[in-house]
Amino acid sequence: MDYGEQIVQHESATRQTWLRALFSYALGGIVVILFFDYCTLTTSGRALVRDVKQEIKDGLSGIDFRSFLKPLIILSGVYLLGIFTIIRANFLYLDDIGWAISGVRNWYNFSRYVIVFLSYFVQPEISMTDISPIPQLLAAVILACSSILFVYIFGNKKITLVKLLASVPLGLSPYFLECLSYKFAAPYMALPILASIIPFLLIEHKKAFFFTSVASMLIMCMTYQALSGVYPMIVVLLAFMDWNSRKKSIKEILSFMGLAAFAFGFSLLFFKFFLMRTSGDQEVQDYASVAMHPLPQLIPGLLHNLKMYASTLNQDLGLLWKIGIVLIFILFILKSVQVSLQGKIRSFIVSVLVIVPAFVLSYGIYSLLKFPYFYPRGLVGFGVFLAILSIYVVTDYKKTAMIPVLALSWCFFVFAFSYGNALADQMRYAEFRISLLLQDLNSLQLNKDSEKPSIQFNNPIDFTPSVKNIAKQNPIIERLVPRRLGDFILDDMYCLIYNNFNSYEINYRVVVKQNFIDFTTLNLPVVTDSYYHTIQSDGNHILITLKH
């Protein structure tokens, strides 16, 4: 009776969760329908639509898009060359394994509806298949378009080769390289950057700017939320540039910032209440959470997350990169002071202060979460932050300022090659270790009365010497290159690649897993002890310790 009562309670809670979700979706649909009716059935609504359409037409008519063709070819070539070794490695990166095996478009789990929709155009099959490198090629083109628009917006609407090369950290920063490693999701991780910059082409037209901002932010929310800080970061830096050059009055700058803040806040709230999945499994994830700090703990939690963000960056980046980044910060301040029409001292203080909120915003809304996301792909906003500062520094400034900017871009470009080759080397080594392990597993005497012996891994496969060598200078490589087995979250997906593992049940460590038994506490007898691994088994339980 107790067991039955638990099932009923669980089902009831599940029903309530789904009813709440359906209510939110329905309410959001009603809001959209009402707004659509207002725009089509009322005089003021039709006038609003006409005004927005005209403003968009006027805003875009002043841009010579044909002049973007040559820069697009150049930057597409740079990005494609940068990810050449990643493509050549042919590495199924983390979730790629599950997508390749099951073909299921499970992006709904994080409310990424736009990804699901667009994926049917990229892969029109009912079940997804591995069509790489097409998605990665699309990602490179999207990044090239984004870089061009960033150069256009922050480079005084003049596109030069130096500015284009200065924008390389946007797509080839070590953090975005992880996004480009995904065979299935790469273009959808690049799309939010492009969406975030597009509204600023219409910055002089308030209505068009507002509605395109809302649409762009909703696209960001329904593709890759790690880039939620790009839009407000652009706003802050553009406002500073307008203030520093006195192109706009304080009133105009505040009006622009207020309109952008309202569009950003409205989009996030609409997504939160009407579009975001609120099922129970979203509140606590294996590696992330959508729960925010309660209001009394918001400021301390924010400061703690930002401290962890800065600490993670410090641990990830190599010394040479840090020097280049610091030099770019210094050059940003020096240029701001030199070109300022606001007074040298005031410009110096404000330029120093503006770097802080821009850096904070580069982490996006993750800084407000209880359990923030510190995987490399969650820190992609930092590369966008560096790209904007670099473009600003090389625009109409001393030629010597180009040296550290282009040097940092070159360092990231070279690291991309090292990373791709490291993926291939690690994959070869992992396959060698797994083949040896399977041979020893096949020789085990298992309990025939048990349907599926349970396997548990202790320690992942170690990094290859080449990866360890790269890590001496650039420690982030060890967070970018996945290690097969012993990951405790992806063990089951790794093993699905090899049909030999189908006869075993993978008992892997996950925070939310119930009734987990640590096999190291069972004192299992050793049945195989080799140079690479130790296997302990009682016929039903198998503990594999991978040696380093």
The amino acid present at 313, given as its one-letter code, is: L
Most confident of 34-38, 117-121, 150-154, 446-450: 150-154
Q: Please tell me whether residue 460 adopts helix, strand or coil conformation.
A: coil
Cβ proximity of 508 and 488 under 8 Å: yes
Residues 236, 239: Cα–Cα separation, whole Å: 5
Residues 238, 48: Cα–Cα separation, whole Å: 27
pLDDT band for position 98 (50/70/90)?
confident
Question: In the predicted model, what is the mean pLDDT of the chain?
Answer: 87
pLDDT band for position 521 (50/70/90)?
confident
The predicted model gives 176-181 an average pLDDT of: 96
Q: What's the confidence (pLDDT) of residue 2?
A: 45
On the question of pLDDT at 17 being above 70, the answer is no
Q: Which tens digit of pLDDT belongs to each residue from 247-298?
A: 999 999 999 999 999 999 999 999 988 888 754 444 444 455 677 878 888 8
Q: Which is higher by pLDDT, 487 or 396?
A: 396
- Which residues lie closer than 8 Å to 236 by C-beta, 6 or more apart? 257, 354, 357, 358, 361
Q: What's the confidence (pLDDT) of residue 3?
A: 40
Residues 128, 475: Cα–Cα separation, whole Å: 34
Helices 381-394 and 402-442 pack at an angle, to 10 degrees, of 160
Cβ proximity of 536 and 448 under 8 Å: no
On the question of pLDDT at 30 being above 90, the answer is no
The amino acid present at 345, given as its one-letter code, is: I
The predicted model gives 516-524 an average pLDDT of: 83
Q: What's the confidence (pLDDT) of residue 27?
A: 82
Cis, bond preceding 133 (omega within 30 deg of 0): yes
Q: What kind and span of H or E run contains 542?
A: strand 541-546
Cβ proximity of 205 and 60 under 8 Å: no
On the question of pLDDT at 310 being above 70, the answer is yes
The predicted model gives 380-389 an average pLDDT of: 96
Beta bridge partners of 537: 542
Tokens standing for residue 66: 């044909």
Q: Which is higher by pLDDT, 131 or 493?
A: 131
Q: What's the confidence (pLDDT) of residue 32?
A: 86
pLDDT more than 70, % of the chain: 87
Cβ proximity of 58 and 205 under 8 Å: yes
Q: Determine the distance from the C-alpha atom of residue 240 to the mean position of all C-alpha atoms in its chain, rounded to a whole number.
A: 26
Q: Which tens digit of pLDDT belongs to each residue from 68-83?
A: 999 999 999 999 999 9
Q: Which is higher by pLDDT, 473 or 102?
A: 473
The predicted model gives 361-387 an average pLDDT of: 92
pLDDT band for position 506 (50/70/90)?
low
Beta bridge partners of 535: 528, 544
Q: What's the confidence (pLDDT) of residue 519?
A: 84
Q: How many CA atoms lie within 13 A of 52 on its CB side?
A: 15
Q: Determine the distance from the C-alpha atom of residue 287 to the mean position of all C-alpha atoms in its chain, rounded to a whole number.
A: 14
Q: What is the maximal distance between C-alpha atoms in the chain?
A: 84
Q: Please tell me whether residue 219 adopts helix, strand or coil conformation.
A: helix
Q: Where are the alpha helices (DSSP H) in 65-133?
A: 69-82, 84-89, 96-102, 113-122
Cβ proximity of 492 and 485 under 8 Å: no
- Would you mind telling me the total number of residues written for the chain in this entry? 548
pLDDT band for position 512 (50/70/90)?
very low
Long-range contacts of 21-26 (CB under 8 A, 24+ apart): 21/277, 21/278, 21/279, 24/273, 24/274, 24/275, 24/276, 24/278, 25/274, 25/275
User: Among residues 409, 394, 404, 408, which one has the least CA distance to residue 151?
Assistant: 394
Residues 544, 542: Cα–Cα separation, whole Å: 6
Cβ proximity of 416 and 83 under 8 Å: yes
The lowest-confidence range among 244-248, 293-297, 392-396 is 293-297
Q: What's the confidence (pLDDT) of residue 6?
A: 44
Q: What's the confidence (pLDDT) of residue 124?
A: 87
Q: What's the confidence (pLDDT) of residue 499?
A: 58
Q: What's the confidence (pLDDT) of residue 283?
A: 43
Q: Determine the distance from the C-alpha atom of residue 423 to the mean position of all C-alpha atoms in its chain, rounded to a whole number.
A: 19
Q: For the chain, which residues make up each domain, given as ranges?
A: 42-397, 439-546
Residue with tokens 């939310």: 512
